Structure 1
Amino acid sequence: MNRQEIDKRIANLREILNLPEKSRIISRLSGGQQRRVSIAITMIHRPRLIILDEPTVGVDSILRHKIWQYLENLCQTNGQTVIITTHYIEEARSAAQVAFMNSGTILKQSAPNQLMSEYQCSTLEEVFLQLCNQHNKDKNNANFIEQSSDDSNNLGISNITPIENDLINTTNISSKRLDMTRVNAMLMKYWIFIKRKPQFIISYYTMVIITLCALNLIMGRDINGISVAVYNNDESPQRLSRMLIHSIDDKHITFVDYPDPESAVNSVRNGRNYLALQFKQNFSDAFETRVTDPFSATDEDVEESLIHLYLDISNAVIGLMSVKYLMNGFTNFMDKLGNEVGKPNLLDLITPLQITQIYHGNLKNLYNTFDLFGAPMLVMLVLLMPMLLSAFLMVTAKTNNTIERVFVSGVTSHEYYLAHVVVNILISLGLVVISMVVVFVVFNVEHQGSLVETFMLLFLQTLVGIAIGLAFSLILAHMVSVMISIMGLSMAIMMISGIVWPLEAIPNYFLIVTYMSPITEPIISMRNIMVRGWDYS
């Protein structure tokens, strides 16, 4: 059918069945309206055989008459066969043939007028009563034809004609071919779903944006206001000890003075501070002697020049960042002291290690979000979101019996799955584009490699997520079990793929499992592209 013919038939059926506006959503219609829409969907393509189960239930007499009139017209003008089950016996007078059924047995089948004449009754209902009484008297009558029936007690049949075997065979053969018209219809169905529920796709993309914003704004950032206890027993004027304390960035470290070492250490033990510093009585003089004339420094001078640290690393991140800020402060302190004593390279004199060149990354911003967490989390995100979407759409279709109705209408399984994959790919393209815009445009994350290769890598990762989500939805029947399985798989993948801890720490015998993860290799490639600037070669 072309579009013009479809619109014409829709308009005709809307008038006959008194259907609501086309903009109305079927699930929000009343029961009677939904039944009439179902009838219209059944008849719009004018099949050779139409089977209707009580189509006139819940409709008024005028509409019932119009429905029967339309069905009679179909049989007379188009040669279609219509089989109707009904409890309204008298409306079956319009049928060419009537079969009365009771308890799964056809009692009698003939033309309505012939039945009323044979049993000398004025109504079909009286004929049915006589047949039931006769059937109850002799249930073992072998002349009765036994058939099964779902809940109906009588059946109206109009223009029963045999369906040729070659028609059935032709239909079966054609259904095996890929029909792009049916695929387009499925794509249109998804488009209508998204158009009617825009909040679904908006929330999908919004979750991605919120996740990336949280990742960039929270993870890997400097920590401010870490509480550190200080017991400074350095003799007056405490010149070097105070210089060291003032060299530490007070934005990150907040110092709290204590009168004795016990109270300072107890503040760490009791959780009030994460770190405690203790300067010995002769720290300034001993440290100056140790730096300016190390060979004359005694063991006592070395001991007095030490800064004793007491750490609480119950929160490992705060503990490590505290040490980092102290070391940065110590470097500043040594630069200041070197300038005072006329040795600008003082730190180099006491430190044998020297970093000559850093090829990839930034030592000063070691915990940068997208150097440390960004690349693996971005890969994980573009795997997890399409996985959830693919599984959600398929399980929803199975739960609502939409997929069964689609298959009954003639759509084959490979056509349905093709449309499902195409829709998920289109949505995933938007996911990758939005993710890259947020990361590399909005947050201006440094990227050493090719953005095209990054896009291709992330897009291929979405295809993996779509496939895994589809597999879960086909294996598991319920939404809850699918979601739990996907989240469980995601947690396992994160543990073994180098997101939480480097791959180099994983035992050799477990590496084969690690590299079976769908994100292990992509994470390595993503880091190589973003930080090292490598390409596919």
Structure 2
Amino acid sequence: MPQEIALYGEFTIKETMMYFGWIFGMETGRIAERLTFLLNFLDLPSGNRMVKNLSGGQQRRVSFAVALLHDPDLLILDEPTVGVDPLLRHAIWRHLVRLTSAGDKTVIITTHYIEEARQAHCIGLMRGGRLLAEESPQALLTMYNCISLEDVFLKLSREQGVLDRRREIAGQKSAVVELHMFGGGLGLNKMSKREEAPYAAEDEYVVGLNFQVINQSKEALIVDNGDVSLPGKVIEAVTNECNDCGGCFNVTSHGKIKALIQKNILRMWRNVGVMMFIFVLPVMQVILFCLAIGRDPTDLKLAIVNDDAQLVNGECMFNSSCSMKNLSCRYLSHLTEHTRQIHYANLSAAQDAVKQGHVWGVLFFNENYSDSLVARLALADAADEETVRLSDVQVWLDMSNQHIGLTLNRDILYAYRDFAQ
């Protein structure tokens, strides 16, 4: 449990428990059972209340409930009783003591309320990043002849301050000292390097780092080779099964996938800004793009000067069979998607119409265009320059409007492709 609130404000209390329960791999039924217990135990409001609508103290209790949800073997809590009333603080400590009573669970707590740590099996007093003492509460009270743990802390802090000042005055490197209890007397003896506690090497001037008491409450016995043995427990050798790769490809679980899907859906559904950004913004971008660019222009006037064929009632006629006559008219029949063809008698008049802005371009077919095109196809590379010139379609386009000019250029090329096929 962190000191800062690490919850999703868009979730209700129930949804928060479901999310973290699935992350922990719990079944939905088991989560519901734990939720009912934790709501009553921590005096939380209805499970349908939104986390963002809770007070700061209630949010901390929800965070504490998340830590207790999956009943872990190791529970690390950072000031769990901050912002709670004394009755609830007493209930929380009573529950934590009950969890550790069977001996199969461990609870590590940091707190600024020193007196509430009296219920712990072992406490460590720290000041300025230094460990002043580590023992059971009763051993500390007896050792320093104090009636409260706060008095013990104050006494140790004063001793640390005095020793720091002495070290500054002497300007010498302090030695690690060991605090011994002999018949109620308090003595300071230097420790040898062999007897030095492993955590004393990092901070050389710590008072009360290792206590030698008749009723020692520490379970870990540190020996010279660095091994840690626990009384009454057998340490089994752990071997790595390198040959079994059955679980190497288990990237995630179904519960985690389910929890992440629910989280994303709920956060988007309850956050209008996110919904607008994810769904509405792309649609608006497409609409604005279409409005700004627009669709392809239509009804573009294109001047046609066709000296290859005669117009009949203003139309360019051709035989749709395999006849090779009036091929210019056959080509113009493919050029009708975005254009409106206007026939001119001569090339100069058509070019003047372009200059005056009446039409957007000119297509000119030379006399004998059909015969020259047939000859060019038959002769291929052997065709002379005159045949090639007469079989070309000459094009002039008004590029003052790039969009319209490029559209006409594309349609002319596509129409010629279809004509050639």
| TM-score relative to the length of structure 1 | 0.42
Question: What secondary structure sits across from 1:96 in the alignment?
Answer: coil
What runs of 5+ residues in structure 1 fail to find an aligned partner?
150-158, 213-220, 292-301, 332-352, 354-362, 364-537
Q: Which protein has the bigger helix share?
A: 1
- Do structure 1's residue 94 and structure 2's residue 119 form an aligned pair? yes
Matches within 5 A, 1:279-358: 309-312=394-397, 318-325=408-415
What runs of 5+ residues in structure 2 fail to find an aligned partner?
1-25, 165-173, 180-196, 204-216, 221-229, 287-294, 318-328, 374-386
Displacement after TM superposition at 1:242 (Å): 3.6
Counterparts in 2 of 1:327 and 1:46: CA distance versus 1, 3 Å:
closer
Identify which of 59, 83, 89 aligns with 2:84. 59
Counterparts in 2 of 1:270 and 1:87: CA distance versus 1, 3 Å:
farther
Displacement after TM superposition at 1:101 (Å): 1.2
2:125–2:132 Cα contact (<8 Å) kept: yes
- Partner Cα distance (1:76, 1:290) in 2: 106
2:114–2:150 Cα contact (<8 Å) kept: yes
Counterparts in 2 of 1:171 and 1:80: CA distance versus 1, 3 Å:
farther
- Partner Cα distance (1:8, 1:227) in 2: 78
Identify which of 177, 185, 189 aligns with 1:142. 177
Q: Deviations over 1:425-479 (max 9, x none)?
A: xxxxxxxxxxxxxxxxxxxxxxxxxxxxxxxxxxxxxxxxxxxxxxxxxxxxxxx
Counterparts in 2 of 1:279 and 1:109: CA distance versus 1, 3 Å:
closer
Question: What secondary structure sits across from 1:99 in the alignment?
Answer: strand
- Partner Cα distance (1:308, 1:109) in 2: 99
Matches within 5 A, 1:114-129: 114-129=139-154
Counterparts in 2 of 1:60 and 1:288: CA distance versus 1, 3 Å:
closer
Q: Which protein has the bigger strand share?
A: 2
Q: Deviations over 1:312-369 (max 9, x none)?
A: 49765641323444787xx7xxxxxxxxxxxxxxxxxxxxx9xxxxxxxxx7xxxxxx
Counterparts in 2 of 1:97 and 1:288: CA distance versus 1, 3 Å:
closer
1:241–1:279 Cα contact (<8 Å) kept: no
Displacement after TM superposition at 1:61 (Å): 3.0
Q: Deviations over 1:95-120 (max 9, x none)?
A: 23332112232222333344344444
Displacement after TM superposition at 1:64 (Å): 2.2
- Do structure 1's residue 276 and structure 2's residue 366 form an aligned pair? no
For 1:255, the equivalent position in structure 2 comes to: 341
Question: What secondary structure sits across from 1:178 in the alignment?
Answer: coil
- Do structure 1's residue 193 and structure 2's residue 243 form an aligned pair? no
Displacement after TM superposition at 1:60 (Å): 3.3
Aligned-partner residue type, residue 260 of structure 2 = Y
1:81–1:161 Cα contact (<8 Å) kept: no
- Do structure 1's residue 16 and structure 2's residue 48 form an aligned pair? no
Counterparts in 2 of 1:119 and 1:326: CA distance versus 1, 3 Å:
closer
Counterparts in 2 of 1:51 and 1:166: CA distance versus 1, 3 Å:
farther
Q: Tell me how many residue pairs correspond in the alignment.
A: 299
Query: Percent of aligned positions with the same letter in both sequences?
Result: 27
Counterparts in 2 of 1:142 and 1:266: CA distance versus 1, 3 Å:
farther
Matches within 5 A, 1:75-86: 75-77=100-102, 79-86=104-111
Question: What secondary structure sits across from 1:59 in the alignment?
Answer: coil
For 1:226, the equivalent position in structure 2 comes to: 300
- Partner Cα distance (2:117, 2:358) in 1: 88
Counterparts in 2 of 1:234 and 1:82: CA distance versus 1, 3 Å:
closer
Matches within 5 A, 1:158-177: 166=235, 169=238
- Partner Cα distance (1:41, 1:5) in 2: 14
- Partner Cα distance (1:20, 1:46) in 2: 21
| TM-score relative to the length of structure 2 | 0.51
- Partner Cα distance (2:254, 2:370) in 1: 82
Q: Deviations over 1:113-166 (max 9, x none)?
A: 4434444444322221111001111144522765789xxxxxxxxx97557685
Displacement after TM superposition at 1:56 (Å): 1.8
2:42–2:61 Cα contact (<8 Å) kept: yes
Q: Which structure is larger by alpha-carbon Rg, 1 or 2?
A: 2
Aligned-partner residue type, residue 301 of structure 2 = S
Question: What secondary structure sits across from 1:87 in the alignment?
Answer: coil
Q: Deviations over 1:214-242 (max 9, x none)?
A: xxxxxxx997423313457999x953864
Root mean square deviation, CA, Å: 5.6
Aligned-partner residue type, residue 178 of structure 2 = N
Question: What secondary structure sits across from 1:55 in the alignment?
Answer: coil
